[in-house]
Amino acid sequence: MMTRLVAACLLMASCVTIHAIGVTGAIRRLRGSATTVQGFWPGVRLLIFVAVWMVLLHLSEISVWASAYWWNAALPDFSTSLYFSAVTYTTTGYGDVVLPTGWRLDGGVEALTGILMCGWSTGFFFAIVNRLYEPRPRALSS
């Protein structure tokens, strides 16, 4: 059980690393954008970019978990592993595919990781929206 917990924590650390790299990359790409975007459609395009980028990060993290399940034969094939991982990471939890008994702790850690990473994405998205719509100082007229 301790081995599985350590392995799950390493997978979680991989997800945190992917997310940190992805969010840092987005910050560098967007630096100043949220304060210079003016108009409705440019703002919408910025938010779509951020949303798509966050979803791609989550899909990458789901793939890391799926790869671990498949590589270690916890699930029969990669397609099933990817499906199970997506359902678990998002905490949808259909229950139609389950891990073997020795792997169930991994599923719980994956769900907790998904909650944390989705929360991080939500916070990042909120910060962008907040910057996009914060009141701008008006120029003083003489």
CA 88 to chain centre: 13
Instruction: Name every residue whose Cβ is closer than 8 Å to that of residue 69 and which is 6 or more positions away in sequence.
Output: 75, 81, 84, 85, 99, 103, 106
Instruction: Name every residue whose Cβ is closer than 8 Å to that of residue 86 and which is 6 or more positions away in sequence.
Output: 62, 66, 92
CA distance 90 to 112: 9
pTM equals 0.88
Per-position pLDDT tens, the chain of length 142: 889 999 999 999 999 999 999 999 999 888 866 667 778 888 889 899 999 999 999 999 999 999 999 999 999 999 999 999 999 999 999 999 999 999 999 999 999 999 999 999 999 999 988 888 777 666 566 5
Contact indicator for 1, 105 with CB cutoff of 8 Å? yes
> Can you name the CATH fold of 2-133?
Helix Hairpins (1.10.287)
* Domain chopping of the chain, boundaries: 2-133
